[in-house]
Chain A
């Protein structure tokens, strides 16, 4: 059974940083592209970033480019999202997702971790 378990969500001040983690199991993590998708309270889904299986090729939404960094440790079956220069617009539930293809679609999702940016 595929399982994705996010952690690291917290209350952080504007301008601060946070690192999210996603522990994966039940599939060959090292062969799968992985992604982060977020959802602001009461709003729709927004793709944030995808990292390919090789851990080298990454893709970002314009809204986070230069502030967020996606990475992975295939030896630990873990996906990360380093978030810097956080602003109120980054407040959201952050979902870890497994990509069925190179970049999408997302066939398995975690339950999410909440990031709140507020002073």
Chain B
């Protein structure tokens, strides 16, 4: 159960758009449409931002969107705001009824 692969860091200026990638295998991302994304601010619990590849929970801004192609899922944040600065984690349902997380990406808003 190796972690999904995410870039360690990404950055962008306010108002810009950024995309965070998350790469897995045929046993997780490539095999199921059960990719989720979580936002975590320092010292806080994670918050679900996207589930089932591209669905937003109630209350999550429509500036957040998700997609998937093959073994890679992506989270796009448009109209970057200072409050978006946080760590972001992808996760996927995986074969054997398990869940696997990515290593996390630190988003810096310049």
Smallest Cβ distance from B104 to chain A, in angstroms?
4
Please pick, from B40, B45, B57, B91, the residue contacting A104 in the complex, using a CB distance under 8 A.
Answer: B91
Asked if A45 meets B98 with Cβ closer than 8 Å, knowing A62-B1, A105-B51, A105-B91, the reply is no
- A106:B46 contact, CB within 8 angstroms: yes
B-contacting 9-mer, from A20-28, A70-78, A108-116: A108-116
Q: Which residues of B contact A107 (CB under 8 A)?
A: 48, 51, 57
- B101:A44 contact, CB within 8 angstroms: yes
- Over the window 78-119 of chain A, the binary record of Cβ atoms lying under 8 Å from chain B Cβ atoms (1 yes, 0 no) is 000000000000000001000011011111011110000000
Total contacting residues, chain A, CB less than 8 A? 24
Q: For the side of the interface on B, what is the size category?
A: 20 to 34
Nearest chain-A residue to B47 (Cβ)?
A109
25 contacts between A and B (CB under 8 A): A35-B99, A37-B46, A44-B101, A45-B46, A45-B91, A45-B101, A47-B99, A47-B100, A47-B101, A59-B97, A59-B98, A60-B98, A61-B98, A95-B46, A100-B48, A101-B34, A103-B97, A104-B36, A104-B91, A104-B93, A109-B45, A109-B46, A109-B47, A110-B45, A112-B45
